[in-house]
Amino acid sequence: MSDQTEDRKLIWPVLASLGGAALLLVLWILPAEFGIDPTGFGKLTGLTSLAAEDERAFEAADASPVTINESFELLGFESLEYKLDLKEHAGVVFGWKASAPLHFDMHAEPSGGEEGEAYSYATGDARRQDGTYIAEFQGEHGWYWANETAEPVTVELTATGFFAATTLYRDGNAIRRSMPKE
């Protein structure tokens, strides 16, 4: 078989791959990452809102991000809440891990909201949770952890984002800590 025949056989798969990559770029990547939507597909599927969320997280930040590293021990059948004070559209990158499974509820309470008004974003039983979070409203956003066993469990939390203060709710007490301003 000649080299020319081999070249012709390879050109179509290469062109198809390039065409597929261009289609992915125009339909998914540009709308989701950059808010550029030449076909309208990104708006139709909601992909352009992903780029808008990233921009809002930085627009809401009027300070440098802060990082916290906290560790808590929950004795048998003990629980606690840990909240971050976030403005609307402020973002946080977080991760927590526990030495044994805990019941958790990631939730938020709006500032000025009605008594008991809360919105839950993730609940379950797990040893860890990692993610990013963008506040839909100004208020307290964070976690409730419950040790449903008789054995002590340690929770380690790391969060980096644009929050002004933290509050630990434990044993009927609220311990508030303001973050340093730069």
With CA atoms as reference, report the closest residue to 70 among 173, 171, 177: 177
Nearest-5° angle of CA 148, CA 121, CA 161?
Answer: 100
Q: Distance from CA of residue 59 to its chain's centroid?
A: 17
Domain borders along the chain are 3-58, 66-178
For 90, the token pair is: 């402020």
Alpha carbon separation from 51 to 31, 54, 56, 83, 99 (Å, rounded): 7, 5, 9, 26, 36
Q: Do residues 158 and 165 make contact, with C-beta atoms less than 8 angstroms apart?
A: no
- Rounded to a whole number of angstroms, the CA Rg of the chain reads 23
As assigned by CATH, the class of the 66-178 domain is mainly beta
Distance between CA atoms of residues 55 and 112, nearest Å: 26
Distance between CA atoms of residues 23 and 155, nearest Å: 44
Q: Do residues 145 and 98 make contact, with C-beta atoms less than 8 angstroms apart?
A: yes
Question: What pLDDT score does 101 carry?
Answer: 97
pLDDT per position as a tens digit, 140-169: 999 999 999 999 999 999 999 999 999 999
- Its pTM stands at 0.67
Question: What pLDDT score does 34 carry?
Answer: 65
Residue ranges of the chain with per-residue pLDDT less than 70 = 1-4, 7, 14, 18, 20-22, 24-26, 28-34, 42, 47-63, 182
Question: What pLDDT score does 144 carry?
Answer: 98
